Amino acid sequence: MADLYQAALAEIGDVFQRVDDANVEAAIAMIAEARRIAIHGVGREGLQMKGLAMRLFHLGLDVAVVGDMTTPYLGKGGLLIVSAGPGYFATIAGLMGVAREAGARVLLVTAQPKARCAEFADLVLHLPAQTMADDRSGRISVLPMGSLFEGAQYILFEAMILRLRDRLGVSPEKMRANHTNLE
């Protein structure tokens, strides 16, 4: 069993050897400058996106998850952050179009930076990890289907939160004070 853990950790580490830090910093700047943020992803990617939304909320940012009944209007000054690891989901492309038409900017997190959804993004955050789009060709991850991408999203997002926390001057105590007490 320990071999599986080590193999998975090594694969995630390899992803981050190939991440462009300047691209990540551009995404962090885009988030820091946004007046209002909406987030969406599908499937397990969507779960990682909800985790990002929660952490942005802990930082004190105005953030909502698309589909929640309290999601506000997103227009000029707003930012839509979406995930399409394999490069295209019809729902993601549709939301990107609506956001752009309303004047919001769009940040796409994907493993396929040249795929269709990238055409609609103001910034493409490339996370070079296996997804279900490429889990049958070439070198295959020890993790099933798109799990390598999803696991890398978790690490990426938590590291981005640390950078945002520093950039915005939010203390760990302030983040904790924004955590729910209704558990």
Residue numbers annotated as active site: 150
CA distances (Å), 77 to each of 8, 59, 97, 112, in order? 39, 18, 16, 27
Helices in 70-146 by DSSP H: which ranges?
90-101
- Of the candidates 155, 170, 178, the one whose C-alpha atom is nearest the C-alpha of residue 51 is 155
In the chain, the amino acid numbered 174 is K
- Cβ(142)–Cβ(129) below 8 Å: no
Tokens standing for residue 67: 């589909």
Distance CA 63, CA 56 (A): 7
